[in-house]
Amino acid sequence: MKFIINPPRAQWAELAHRPVKDLAELEEPVRAILTDVKKNGDSAVLKYIEKFDKVKLKTLLVTEEEIREAQSFVSEDLKKAIQAAKYNIAKFHIEQKEMVKKIQTTEGVTCWRKSTPIPKVGLYIPSRSAPLFSTILMLGIPANIASCEEIVLCSTPNPDGKLHPIILYTANLLNIKKVFKVGGVQAIAAMAYGTQSIPKVDKIFGPSNQYVTVAKQLVTKEGTAIDMPASASEVLVIADETANPAFVAADLLAQAEHGTDSHAVLVTTSESFAHLVKKEIETQLEALNRKEILREALENCLLIVVNNLKEAIAFSNFYAPEHLVLAVNNDEYFAELITNAGSVFLGNYSPVAAGDYASGTNHTLPTNGFARVYSGVSLDSFFKKITFQKITQKGIRNLGKTIEIMAEAEGLMAHKNSVSLRLRE
Amino acid sequence: MKFIINPPRAQWAELAHRPVKDLAELEEPVRAILTDVKKNGDSAVLKYIEKFDKVKLKTLLVTEEEIREAQSFVSEDLKKAIQAAKYNIAKFHIEQKEMVKKIQTTEGVTCWRKSTPIPKVGLYIPSRSAPLFSTILMLGIPANIASCEEIVLCSTPNPDGKLHPIILYTANLLNIKKVFKVGGVQAIAAMAYGTQSIPKVDKIFGPSNQYVTVAKQLVTKEGTAIDMPASASEVLVIADETANPAFVAADLLAQAEHGTDSHAVLVTTSESFAHLVKKEIETQLEALNRKEILREALENCLLIVVNNLKEAIAFSNFYAPEHLVLAVNNDEYFAELITNAGSVFLGNYSPVAAGDYASGTNHTLPTNGFARVYSGVSLDSFFKKITFQKITQKGIRNLGKTIEIMAEAEGLMAHKNSVSLRLRE
């Protein structure tokens, strides 16, 4: 943990810099797997599963029996929790539906747009260290609401050749039927190109390690869309002296837990508060597991003291954090000043973990400053919006001259002619 | 023009295939310019302008005097046309604003999202063969509505070292003040990295030739967002026997006019209608300029005859055209069946040129089948959506157990702890 007192603006870029690994050297090995799967389909996929996951599979599709079997391995408490989270996530995402609004821009000229599902989507769910079933909820629920025609889910098989029962339970709860036992680069390749058993999809979603990140980048060049560029997870907490140091410490630790490259930043108006948080982190750390990861991640942890909350907000907007906690007295007022962030948590009782799992917002969010530009995953991510227009004969009479003059000025005479013909009628 | 009668489904992929040039070999020369501009800023930019545009500039920023001067070179008719188009485009795009809706997902748990402008956007406006001032409207109007903090516009200088007066008139009409005389790869580089005089932007928009396309692809790897992947423009017209062959021919020719790689496709239920359209194309062609481009583009033109309109719609959804004209009797009924398209034009009096210029919809649209996945440019393209949540003490009591159980099942004990601490209070 590093203490920084009143950093000048000139230092902000350095403080906001997230060390990003150059993944260029991974491109060659990743491309080799992509090319192999593109050419050889299932047989290449099965080969890489044997190589990387140390398990010899005969088929990739999870069977109905495996799904049935999985139900009994998930506790009733966990089932209830997943269902409660599903309810909230659905409730928040369903409200993102945009109704069709017909707009008459000129008399006789009516324009509208309509959200239309992306036909085929692929969800990549890592499962090596722990089964990330929460990500199935975050991606599968909006995909269902959007009514995507086909939802494909790929997840890494365990050494016994099966998927984790919680993965299967959650996928089944969302009525996702095409679940495949494949992870890593070979999963991205299979969904990008299609194989004998795995359908080709239009857009791939999901968290990733470095190899999968590179694979996702590479397949976009060949026409598969992806959710967003990926890198390490991050939180920035803005706290004044009304905040609870134990809660703030816990949120910073929760962030650190994601991995050694996680970024946890506290920006506070009170130096003594920063010291209390530091102490709390050290105390709470002792009771947690994953201590090695936590200790390494905490080396990047910044405790920044600034003069006032306006300065804290300015730094946060400059940093553009994935997660932002506003543990300040007048949280709703300061929330209005946020211009760059993925997801914002107001007050003392809104831990980031709530958004990670169950409050309703999506947990797939932009990192590494991309929150300046990108939104997190939402219902929009599973739609594209098609525009429509209907022009009547009267409408083209009203608008025709305008189009003719503009087309001519751009030197596009066939464009002009397509209007002139209609005006002459 | 190729006639295809009742193509079997197995042939659809071949018919829908757009020949895309492999741009990999352009990466090296493009990367050289990017790197040079990144390192040497304005001096590198000025060097490439001299090399490619054959003009020696001292400064890049357009002066107020140049803008004033430009006003007198634009005819009053054209000014009025541009203003009329601006009104319609603004009217359509302003309606895309999403209001904040606070949603209580569980008692005490309130979530919402808010559209927030992308801070700095760059508009790239090609101007070599003709000044594409319509694209300034299509990008600048939504950027203004979104209230982006900085709008940068780059366009290729003429041999006299100035920008075309229509470019300057239109930029000024939209109150875009940072207009720079630079085009090509050097313009993309300057906006992606920033130079002494050109600000670094977060997202780059605009049409592109092959070099600019590669430059836009490459800068995304370094963190600059772009509007969408680019390739040749296309139209698909679905027509029944009620359509007007002259109008249909004119729309196909307008498409062909964009360039030799344009795709124009007619899908009709009537073979005799297809012949009438072919004849009309040949007749109209004689009266147009750009004949060489038109003739070459028309070699790719497909005239497809199918059994019925359902089949025509199915083919169109498979093709996913950038522009789709529905010149059919029951156009509103068939519009409901469209699942993949950029922008749809209903009936006999809605030429594609209307959407290109003035009806209100955006003309920056997905090509090459990307209409399956991507939306055209809209107000959304200039926003990101930040999610917010406020949980009360009662809210965390309602939701806490759910989060604890899920975090534990994912093995994230610090996440669990961040909730447990709050529950214990």
Percent of chain A past pLDDT 70, that is, above it, reads 100
CB-CB: which of A78, A387, A388 is closest to B409?
A78
Give A-chain residues touching B406 at CB under 8 angstroms.
Answer: 78, 81-82, 85, 133-134, 357-358
The pLDDT value recorded for residue B304 is 98
Please state the separation of Cα A55 from the chain's center in Å.
30
Under an 8 A CB cutoff, do B388 and A256 touch? no
Under an 8 A CB cutoff, do A247 and B347 touch? no
Tens of pLDDT, residue by residue over A212-261, are 999 999 999 888 999 988 889 999 999 999 999 999 999 999 999 998 99
CB-CB: which of B331, B353, B406 is closest to A358?
B406
Tens of pLDDT, residue by residue over B142-165, are 999 999 999 999 999 999 999 999
The pLDDT value recorded for residue B208 is 86
Q: Which of A93, A164, A258, A322 is an active site residue?
A: A322
Count of CB contacts below 8 A, A vs B?
Answer: 406
Under an 8 A CB cutoff, do B221 and A217 touch? yes
Walking along chain A (425 residues) 10 residues at a time, the average pLDDT comes out as 95 92 90 98 98 96 96 97 98 96 98 98 88 96 98 96 96 98 97 98 94 93 90 95 97 94 96 97 92 92 97 98 97 98 98 98 96 97 98 98 97 96 93
Question: Per the CATH hierarchy, to which homologous superfamily does domain A231-375 belong?
Answer: Nitrogenase molybdenum iron protein domain (3.40.50.1980)
Nearest CA in chain B to A327: B390
Interface mutation target, options B380, B405, B416, chain A, most CBs of A under 10 Å? B405
The pLDDT value recorded for residue B346 is 98
The pLDDT value recorded for residue A21 is 80
The pLDDT value recorded for residue A414 is 96
Distance from CA of B416 to the nearest CA of A (A): 8
Provide φ and ψ at B420, rounded to 5°: -55, -45
Distances (CA, A) of A162 to A74, A113, A191, A405, B131: 15, 44, 19, 65, 60
Class of domain A392-424: mainly alpha
Interface mutation target, options A387, A393, A421, A425, chain B, most CBs of B under 10 Å? A387
**Catalytic positions of B, written as ranges:** 322-323
Q: Which of A164, A263, A323, A363 is an active site residue?
A: A323
Question: Per the CATH hierarchy, to which homologous superfamily does domain A24-226 belong?
Answer: Nitrogenase molybdenum iron protein domain (3.40.50.1980)
The pLDDT value recorded for residue B284 is 96
Residue B111's DSSP bridge partners are B103, B389
The pLDDT value recorded for residue A191 is 98
Under an 8 A CB cutoff, do B384 and A366 touch? yes
CB-CB: which of B87, B384, B402 is closest to A85?
B402
The pLDDT value recorded for residue B231 is 85
Under an 8 A CB cutoff, do A98 and B98 touch? yes
Under an 8 A CB cutoff, do A387 and B376 touch? yes
- pLDDT beneath 50: ranges in chain B: none
Q: Is A93 a known active-site residue?
A: no
Give B-chain residues touching A125 at CB under 8 angstroms.
Answer: none
Distances (CA, A) of A204 to A61, A191, A292, B161, B377: 18, 7, 32, 46, 21
DSSP H helices in A17-102: 27-53, 64-71, 76-94
Under an 8 A CB cutoff, do A403 and B347 touch? no
Distance from CA of A74 to the nearest CA of B (A): 10
The pLDDT value recorded for residue A6 is 96
Amino acid at A8: P
Domain boundaries, chain A: 24-226, 231-375, 392-424
Identical fold between B24-226 and B231-375: yes
A136's enclosing H/E stretch is helix A133-146
CB-CB: which of B331, B372, B409 is closest to A166?
B409
Under an 8 A CB cutoff, do B350 and A247 touch? no
Give B-chain residues touching A98 at CB under 8 angstroms.
Answer: 98
Locate A220 and state its tokens: 């976009």
Nearest CA in chain B to A135: B410
Tens of pLDDT, residue by residue over A133-153, are 999 999 999 999 999 999 999
Give A-chain residues touching B289 at CB under 8 angstroms.
Answer: 413
The pLDDT value recorded for residue A208 is 86
The pLDDT value recorded for residue B88 is 98
Give B-chain residues touching A214 at CB under 8 angstroms.
Answer: none
Interface mutation target, options B75, B238, B415, chain A, most CBs of A under 10 Å? B415
**Residues A151, A152, A158, A161, Cα dihedral to 10°:** 120
The pLDDT value recorded for residue A229 is 84
Give B-chain residues touching A325 at CB under 8 angstroms.
Answer: none
Under an 8 A CB cutoff, do B384 and A378 touch? no
CB-CB: which of B360, B386, B393 is closest to A109?
B360
